[in-house]
Amino acid sequence: MEKKIIFVVIVCLTTCKTVYSSQEIIQTMSINYMKGLDTCKSELNLPDVVDIEFAQFWREDYIISNRLTGCAIVCLSSKLDLLEPDGSLHHGNAADFAKKHGADEAMAQQLIDILHQCEQQYPDKMDACLYALQVCNCFKTQIHKLNWAPDVELIVGEVLAEI
């Protein structure tokens, strides 16, 4: 009996895929999304206040309001091929980005659906930077409703550790 249990444990440990929580996946996605921030800041000559807004992004009571942060979001999203030419989300590439960072098919689709719903709430894309702010604030609100928002301190700590 004991040998059977040990065998089952060994088989499970060698074949079972690690399952991450939604918060961990969003955290990983956020950290990897922000990796190009310094490049975008340099290219667009953005002030350091953008760093502060990114550091505060996942705080539930914080609303991103600086237009320049929206410009950084557009830049980052473009570098990751997450945008269509009209500035809307490229669903396929966004789903691939989510899956690359641990989301399964269902979670990736749910993230795309949330972003698509947020895009529909703000049809005016005349100012790409303000549009990005509106969509991101909407997305963040929906992620908090699902209790998927990552711990802000963990994200800041990981980002600082990479510097």
Average pLDDT over residues 148-161: 73
Residue 72 located in a structural domain: yes
Residue 88 located in a structural domain: yes
pLDDT in tens, 108-146: 999 999 999 999 998 888 899 999 999 999 999 999 999
Residue 8 located in a structural domain: no
Residue 70 located in a structural domain: yes
- Give pLDDT, residue 19: 43
The answer to whether the CB of 87 falls within 8 A of the CB of 125 is: yes
Sign of the alpha-carbon torsion through 94, 99, 100, 103 = positive
Residue type, 21: S
Domains held by the chain: number: 1
- CATH number at 119 reads 1.10.238.20
More confident residue, 23 or 155: 23
% of the chain surpassing 70 pLDDT: 82
Residue 125 located in a structural domain: yes
Residue 62 located in a structural domain: yes
Residue 7 located in a structural domain: no
Parent domain of 75: 21-162
Residue 55 located in a structural domain: yes
Average pLDDT over residues 17-30: 79
- Give pLDDT, residue 5: 53
H helix or E strand, kind and range, residue 135:
helix 128-145
Confidence of residue 60 (pLDDT cuts 50, 70, 90): very high
Mean pLDDT of the chain: 86
